[in-house]
Amino acid sequence: MKDFHSDRISSILTMLESGEYEQVIEQLTKIDINSLQNDEKIVLTKIYLSLGFMDQARMIIQQLKNVETNFSDLQRLEAELEYKEGDYDHAIAIMHDLVENEEYDDYDLVFISQIYFDDGLPEVAYRYIQKALNLNSKIPFYHYQKGLYAFEMGNIKEALESFQEAIKLDPAEPLYHLALGEAYYSLGQFEEALEEYDEVLKKNSEQEEALYLKGLLLVQMGDLDEGIRYLKKVAKMQPENIELMISLVDAYERNHDHTKAQAVLKKILQIDEYYLPALKRLGEIYIYQKEWQKAKEILNKALEIDPDDLTLQVMYAKILKTYGDVKEAIQQYELIHQNAPYEEEICENLGDLYLKAGEVEKAIQCYEKQLEIVQDPKILNQLAACYAEIKDYQKALSMIEQSLVLDDSQEQLLLIKEQFLDLLKSQEI
């Protein structure tokens, strides 16, 4: 009976490694766990853990605690269970107990490093992966892990060396080439990164991650059409990958193809109608295309999702201003102004609206605040108009003169300056 179970469990492991998950699950239902030997239960627990069947794994672990079994193996199973359930502290405590009892190997150290890394402690993870490499430097995956930790810590040169060592030990593994490519990319060594992605694609022209990264890289290098071609190819393979589709939108916008960017954004919203980044981007395109009603509808929906998003509020206020809804636009900008009183665009637009509504003193306050941020001839000209409105011609002239210092090519403004000079002379007579 033991041999029968061992053969069946061995067969399940083979199917698991081949990705035949449905067949694995089917075979698991046919096994009487109580009839298994302890070593078979340990293997079966690992299978359940790899599938994410935590309750079944926990049940077998509890059974193993009640019988005489290898304590170190049991600790490893418990630690993996706690790790996969997100209890990193408990998992680490179990593994440290195992290490303190000197019942560990290099794989245990790698596992500890992974827990620390996932818990946001790459420096500690790095120390443990180095200990693992001191015990066994022939495993390419260990060098890859070291490279990941070094990269996270900002040690890009060391990351490059680690990825290169992993490739030296296993040149056929695409994961290592992709990691090395990303490291080169982060250093701006685009040609070297491209070589790594191409190395993966030589062996498998349909490798999705390599296609995606190469597409992003080509876009970054300015080869937009070719980059888009690669991104579109991956998008066909992963039709519901929203992150990928956003990258395609970025590429289309860099290529000034707003119509295609718009089409992809609409497709994203078919997948997830409440995906805020897509709503925001689509609203921006509608504003760019001056399709104000469509922009208003999209941004209304976006604001329902996140009413506190300042960027959305500004976009919506801009639409109200464009529509000529002066009163409503003022209310919207005043609301925004309370949270971001010194935002340049807010100050300018609110000043324009106050001036249009005849609230000149408020307009002056807004424009003067904006001048504290940036000296802009346009704002100085608006201030001149405000002062002229309240018949303070001396200040109006001062604003015009300051504007001309910044930009003396304003021929119309030179004529207005002469008119103000004449006006002031006539007042003196």
Residue 283 has pLDDT above 70, yes or no: yes
pLDDT in tens, 349-362: 888 899 989 999 99
Cα–Cα–Cα angle for 403, 405, 409, rounded to 5 degrees: 80
CA–CA dist 271, 269 (Å, integer) = 5
Q: Which residues contact 376 (CB under 8 A, 6 or more apart)?
A: 370, 406
Single pTM value for the model: 0.75
Residue whose token pair is 């040149």: 171
Amino acid type, 293: Q
* DSSP category for residue 308: T
Q: What is the model's pLDDT at position 342?
A: 53
CB-based burial, 141-169: b 16+ in 10 Å, e otherwise: ebbbbbbbbbbeeebeebbbbbbebbbeb
Distance between alpha carbon 141 and the CA centroid of its chain, in Å?
26
Q: What is the model's pLDDT at position 343?
A: 64
* CB distance 296 to 265 below 8 Å: no
CA–CA dist 235, 244 (Å, integer) = 7
CA–CA dist 61, 65 (Å, integer) = 6
pLDDT band at 341 (very low <50, low <70, confident <90, very high): low
Mean pLDDT, the chain, whole residue set: 90
The pair of three-digit structure tokens given for residue 145, joined into one six-digit string = 């892990």
Mean pLDDT of all residues in 74-93:
93
Helix 377-389 and helix 411-428, axial crossing angle in degrees, nearest 10: 30
| Ranges 187-191, 258-262, 415-419: which has the least confidence | 415-419
CA–CA dist 49, 44 (Å, integer) = 9
DSSP H or E segment with residue 232 = helix 224-237
CA–CA dist 258, 224 (Å, integer) = 14
Residue 124 has pLDDT above 90, yes or no: yes
Q: What is the largest CA-CA distance in the chain?
A: 120
Q: Which residues contact 355 (CB under 8 A, 6 or more apart)?
A: 363, 382, 385, 386, 389
Mean pLDDT of all residues in 379-406:
93
Nearest to 212 by CA among 251, 173, 183, 157: 251
Q: What is the model's pLDDT at position 1?
A: 41
pLDDT in tens, 395-414: 999 999 999 999 989 989 98
DSSP H or E segment with residue 26 = helix 21-28
